[in-house]
């Protein structure tokens, strides 16, 4: 494989493998007609529900966490401590909400005559694609970054690779590095498979049913829409799809709170850092760069655009997620994987500041397993010389020390400045675009969920800073 030649053909390969003419939705300046792009799948929400029901996807329970709510109220001020609920997406066929993202790519590929589906992912999505494609009698290739240069595999990624294989997928495992995209492109070109990218409208639209279901179930069980919905944030598709579904259901005033594990200081494409993180998704190594520039993805324009929908964003530590994972299992009888528990860790803190008649919903859970369990992650960390200790969150230092809280009162959150992320987006856009037309400014303001005047002021400020 000549990498340069493959990358030179990427636009053609991506169009052939998705059926999407991205250039046809592009504005003359920056951006695209976003809603038109989201509609290019040809499916409306009712059709998505119908497809997912046929695939055994969705209709997952909304579970009230009465014991965790009681614990929140024990430490909250009188009258405070919102009711906590969790949408148990582990009930989906492959064990996570990613089945919703994989259902439309599988269905579309089958009905458009693609010979199979390919997904480049190290996460639950690969298992979901394999599961959903199996229902459509289609073969699947999953391309994973699984090892560092020493051949040491990340336990959670290896666990997911085994699950992909169990559903019949061919799993191509690579060492960490820039070749993942090139290998995926070359394989798409060779096989003619459909590109089941996480960042196409197909994958994002499939999550809208999650937001819609969540809103309807919460209203039915509590008489109101949620005050907050907590969404674990990585590449942005979870935030985007959930928020769009909530709006479609009429829950437009629900606050969307993104949550990531703080892995600041670790680089996701670094061979030396690859195994020094205990979380492979839902962390700042994806959440921050994808929020500030979503089009770093593997398609020309990312349908997952978190800054359009986030009302606030915060981080929690690795140790806090391990702590809340144990609390969920021992207090609620729910042993679930790390991704949804990232949001749950923050929900338990933020709920303490809300009135008791308010409702906070953690919008997903995932299955757990050998490599995803805290025991495996902590064992790997110890073997690499990372210190495991008990204590407050300020002791936690990604890649060097994991501090697990000693008690409930040591839980906390760290706010992320959304305006700082917006300015980072604008700086990148200005470097690429130069001057902005009125249409450009309107698109960017919409993409950042802000006012055009603010965009103009920030662009002027960035221009002065950069001289």
Residue 467: predicted pLDDT: 67
Helical pair 98-111 and 45-54, crossing angle rounded to 10 deg: 90
Q: What is the pLDDT of residue 465?
A: 86
Residue linked to tokens 């055009």: 452
Whose CA is closest to 45, among 205, 203, 214, 198?
A: 205
* Alpha-carbon torsion angle 118, 177, 123, 99, nearest 10: -30
- Residue pointed to by tokens 């600041």: 264
**Residue 175 burial (C-beta neighbours within 10 Å; 0-12, 13-18, 19+):** middle
Residue count of the chain, please give it. 467
Pick from 123, 1, 107: which is nearest to 57 by CA? 107
Residue 187: which H helix or E strand, with range? helix 179-191
Task: Output the pLDDT for position 57.
Answer: 98
HEC secondary structure over 220-267: HHHCCCCCEEEEECCCCHHHHHHHHHHHHHCCCCCEEEEEEECCCCCC
Which residues are registered as beta bridge partners of 315? Answer: 260, 414
Contacts of 130 by beta carbon, 8 Å cutoff, 6+ apart: 94, 140, 142, 163, 164, 167, 168, 169
Backbone angles phi and psi of 322, in degrees to 5 = -60, -40
Give the C-alpha separation, 157 to 147, whole Å.
Answer: 9
Q: List per-residue pLDDT tens for the chain, 467 residues long.
A: 788 999 999 999 999 999 999 999 998 888 899 999 999 999 999 999 999 999 999 999 999 999 999 999 999 999 999 999 999 999 999 999 999 999 999 999 999 999 999 999 988 999 999 999 999 999 999 999 999 999 999 999 999 999 999 999 999 999 998 889 999 999 999 999 999 999 999 999 999 999 999 999 999 999 999 999 999 999 999 999 999 999 999 999 999 999 999 999 999 889 999 999 999 999 999 999 999 999 999 999 999 999 999 999 999 999 999 999 999 999 999 999 999 999 999 999 999 999 999 999 999 999 998 899 999 999 999 999 999 999 999 999 999 999 999 999 999 999 999 999 999 999 999 998 888 999 999 999 999 999 999 999 999 999 888 76
Q: What is the rounded distance in angstroms from the CA atom of residue 413 to the CA atom of residue 258?
A: 12
């Amino acid at each position: 494989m000549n990498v340069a030649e493959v990358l030179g053909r990427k636009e053609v390969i991506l169009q052939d493998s998705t059926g999407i003419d991205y250039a046809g939705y592009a504005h003359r300046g920056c951006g695209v007609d976003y809603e038109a792009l989201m509609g290019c799948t040809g499916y409306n929400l009712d059709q998505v529900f119908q497809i997912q029901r046929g695939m055994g996807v969705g209709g997952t329970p909304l579970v009230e966490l009465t014991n965790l709510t009681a614990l929140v109220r024990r430490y909250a001020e009188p009258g405070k401590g919102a009711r906590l609920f969790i949408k148990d997406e582990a009930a989906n066929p492959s064990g996570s909400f990613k089945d919703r993202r994989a259902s439309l790519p599988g269905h579309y590929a089958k009905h458009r005559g693609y010979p199979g589906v390919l997904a480049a992912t190290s996460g639950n999505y690969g298992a979901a694609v394999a599961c959903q494609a199996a229902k459509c009698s289609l073969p699947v290739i999953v391309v994973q970054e699984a090892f560092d240069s020493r051949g040491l595999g990340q336990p959670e990624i290896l666990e997911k690779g085994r699950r992909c294989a169990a559903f019949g997928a061919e799993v191509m495992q690579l060492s960490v590095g820039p070749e993942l995209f090139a290998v995926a492109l070359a394989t798409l070109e060779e096989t003619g498979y459909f590109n089941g990218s996480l960042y196409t409208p197909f994958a994002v639209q499939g999550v809208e049913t999650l937001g819609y279901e969540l809103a309807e179930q919460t209203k039915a069980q509590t008489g109101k829409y949620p005050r907050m919905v907590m969404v674990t944030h990585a590449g942005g598709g979870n935030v985007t799809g959930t928020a769009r579904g909530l709006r479609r259901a009429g829950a437009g005033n629900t606050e969307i709170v993104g949550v990531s594990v703080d892995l600041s200081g670790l680089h996701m494409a670094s061979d030396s850092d690859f195994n020094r993180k205990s979380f492979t998704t839902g962390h700042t190594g994806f959440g921050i760069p994808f929020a500030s520039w979503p089009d770093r993805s593997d398609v020309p324009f990312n349908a997952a655009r978190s800054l359009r929908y986030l009302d606030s964003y915060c981080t929690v530590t690795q140790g806090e997620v391990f702590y809340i994972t144990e609390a969920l299992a021992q207090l609620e009888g729910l042993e679930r994987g790390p991704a949804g528990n990232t949001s749950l860790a923050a929900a338990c803190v933020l709920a303490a500041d809300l009135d008791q008649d308010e409702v906070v919903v953690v919008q997903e859970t995932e299955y757990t397993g050998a490599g995803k369990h805290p025991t495996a992650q902590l064992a790997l960390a110890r073997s690499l010389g990372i210190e495991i200790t008990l204590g407050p969150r300020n002791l936690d230092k990604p890649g060097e020390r994991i501090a697990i809280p000693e008690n409930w009162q040591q839980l906390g959150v760290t706010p992320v400045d959304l305006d700082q992320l917006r300015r980072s987006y604008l700086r990148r856009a200005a470097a690429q675009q130069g001057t902005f037309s009125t249409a450009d400014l309107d698109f960017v303001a919409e993409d950042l969920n802000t006012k055009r005047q603010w965009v103009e002021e920030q662009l002027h400020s960035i221009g002065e800073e950069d001289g």
